[in-house]
């Protein structure tokens, strides 16, 4: 994965609860009319669980533009992708070529930061960026080691700036 979406929820009762759960199972356990939710069992075992961002040690990063400029950058990138895709000759309109164009566009950084546009696109797609016309609220960028986190009032998006180095051992 390249971008990890994070959404926290405030509990009505003070409970010491810090778990990673399946979003689908959590959604299934929400009873909106009763104002209750059943917290499913913790997710354990998947390989990605070991590469989650740190819980502490985040420091602010300067240079992040406001939400309106971020929405504009995403809109411009989407328009550029569509234009470049339409300009491809039919024989080059392949998944590999589209992926190459996408990697080039979404790897560009935003403003005076190292935050790639793919993180901003994910935040907008998930509804984490404040919508146009709504009081924007605090949108901030933080770093911790090789991680960046774009935090908004609606959720966060985190990503590693350096790929994970996983040990590889030859099969026997």
Instruction: Name the β-bridge partners of 6.
Output: 156
Domain that holds residue 88: 1-163
Per-residue pLDDT of the chain (172 residues; tens, 9 = 90+): 577 777 776 666 767 777 777 778 888 888 888 878 888 888 775 555 567 788 889 999 999 998 889 999 999 999 999 999 999 999 999 999 999 999 999 999 998 999 999 999 999 999 898 877 776 678 899 999 999 999 998 889 999 887 665 555 555 4
Question: How many domains does the structure of the chain reveal?
Answer: 1
46 assigned to some structural domain: yes
DSSP 140: E
Instruction: Name the β-bridge partners of 36.
Output: 31
Q: CB-based contacts of 27: which residues, under 8 Å, 6+ apart? A: none
DSSP 91: G
170 assigned to some structural domain: no
168 assigned to some structural domain: no
172 assigned to some structural domain: no
Number of residues in the chain: 172
Model pTM score: 0.74
């Amino acid at each position: 994965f390249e971008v990890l979406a994070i959404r926290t929820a405030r509990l009505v009762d003070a409970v010491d609860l810090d778990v990673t759960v399946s979003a689908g199972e959590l959604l299934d356990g929400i009873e909106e009319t009763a104002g209750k939710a059943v917290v499913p069992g913790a997710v354990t075992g998947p390989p990605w669980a070991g590469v989650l961002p740190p819980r502490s040690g985040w420091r602010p990063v300067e240079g992040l533009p406001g939400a309106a400029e971020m929405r504009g950058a995403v809109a411009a990138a989407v328009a550029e992708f569509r234009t470049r895709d339409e300009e491809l000759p039919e024989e080059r309109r392949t998944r590999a070529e589209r992926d190459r164009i996408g990697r080039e566009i979404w790897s560009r950084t935003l403003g005076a930061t190292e935050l790639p546009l793919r993180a901003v696109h994910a935040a907008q797609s998930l509804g984490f960026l404040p919508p146009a016309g709504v009081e924007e609220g605090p949108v901030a960028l933080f770093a911790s080691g090789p991680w960046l986190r774009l935090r908004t009032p609606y959720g966060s998006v985190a990503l590693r700036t350096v790929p994970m180095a996983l040990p590889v051992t030859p099969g026997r």
